[in-house]
Structure 1
Amino acid sequence: MVYECQTGVQIEAALMFVLPGYDAFLGFLLIAAAVPVLALVTNKLLAPRSQTGERELTYESGMEPIGGAWIQFNIRYYMFALVFVIFDVETVFLYPWAVAFHRLGLLAFIEALVFITILLVALAYAWRKGALEWS
């Protein structure tokens, strides 16, 4: 099928990209997908294949390892990290609001107060449940 554009040039439908603004994004997406695949293939082709006993040992600052490499961490560490990540991401959401505060008006201010109130309630809940205690 052949189309004619405003300048009178005929374009084949099969060659015409439907979303012309996204061609750079598509190129970036293809490169982003190809780089890890290329890295893995290169590693597979160039990596040494000898699996001697020395290569299988755990490296611990040049010393002989003491005990096993797998240890069990306390669940409180994960809870503390999870609470940190949640509140860190929420702070990132507040930054654009703070930058454009003078242009947003009263409704945006009230919405931000509701958002911060929800965060404070969540913080109080985590505190009450003991997620912030390190004992």
Structure 2
Amino acid sequence: MKIRPITTTVLAASLLLALAACKGPEAEQAKQDAQQAADSAGAAARDAVDKAAAATRDAADKTAAASEQAAADTQQALDKAADATANAADKAKDAATDAAAHASDTTANAAQKVADKARDVANEAKANAAKEEAKH
């Protein structure tokens, strides 16, 4: 982090200036004040680093939770799509079966009509043949 080196440099320079300007008991007081300021700056820097680390961990946790939720939502959507596809396939199969059954019924009805017509024609031909034979 850039905050710590800059803060330390500024505090060290302030300490040197304060020590150079003061002599005797005033120098001792200035030294103590400078030390206290350096300690406060160090504590503030550590606090800032701790807060940044906590914010980073919090952001990482939120990102992980969002990723897990997105994965769950995606899986749910895939499951729904698979179910819809299976249902559509079942309906298509049922429709094809119904169509085949109707086609078979229609074919059987047509065959029955042809057979009935053939029987009618045969009966008519037989009747005509009997009439012709009766005439002779």
TM-score (norm 2): 0.31
Structure (1/2) with the larger helix percentage? 2
Structure (1/2) with the larger strand percentage? 1
TM-score (norm 1): 0.31
- Higher-Rg structure is 2
